[in-house]
Structure 1
Amino acid sequence: MSEQKNNIIVKCGEANHFCDKNQYREASLWEKVKLNIHLLYCKACRKYSSKNNRLSKLISNSEVHTMDPGTKKALQQRVQEKLAEKD
């Protein structure tokens, strides 16, 4: 039996790819349909999808503060100076 490109039954790897795309709102309607059908019968992918969604929510709700560019550049320069001293 030859596989069709638009086969509605997908393997776990492809379903996980669709899940990742869906997380970033890049999945097409057809990919979402295939993913949801796959999730109906695959417990492992449901777990992956659930963890993926939880991780996305945690990241989007986090308050991550980064180093300002001036401080970063000064720190990089200090590291380079210390590395040069050891040579």
Structure 2
Amino acid sequence: MISCEESGHICDKSQYHEATLWEKVKFKFHTLFCAMCKQHSKNNTKLTALIDKVKAKNLTSSEKNSIKSAFNKELDKHQ
């Protein structure tokens, strides 16, 4: 069994398609038993989706606030 810290690291690597198959298997097994890491994975996926949606390098302050607000709204829905 891997630690939550290692699970979080693998989750982050997986989001950027840098995790190996073995790391992904260990991560999936860990999340079967750890609700906190499972939630971290869901939140990480949502954040990545929001960032991919934007696809812009220079955002205005209002756009940044809008993204932050949408992200926080999604987090609140699942807590």
In structure 2, the residue matched to 1:39 is: 31
In structure 1, the residue matched to 2:62 is: none
1:58 deviation in Å?
0.3
SS in 2 for 1:26: coil
Larger Rg: 1
Matches of 2:55 and 2:27, distance apart in 1 = 31
1:19 aligned onto 2:11: yes
Identical residues among aligned pairs (%): 42
Given the two structures, how large is their TM-score scaled by the length of structure 1? 0.64
* Equivalenced residues, count: 59
Given the two structures, how large is their TM-score scaled by the length of structure 2? 0.70
1:62 deviation in Å?
1.1
- The 5-angstrom pairing of residues 6-85 of structure 1 reads 9-64=1-56, 66=58
Runs of 4+ off more than 6 Å: none
SS in 2 for 1:66: coil
Higher helix residue share: 2
CA-based RMSD? 1.5
1:37 to 1:61, Cα distance in 2 relative to 1, 3 A: same
Task: Give unpaired runs (5+ residues) of structure 1.
Answer: 1-8, 68-87
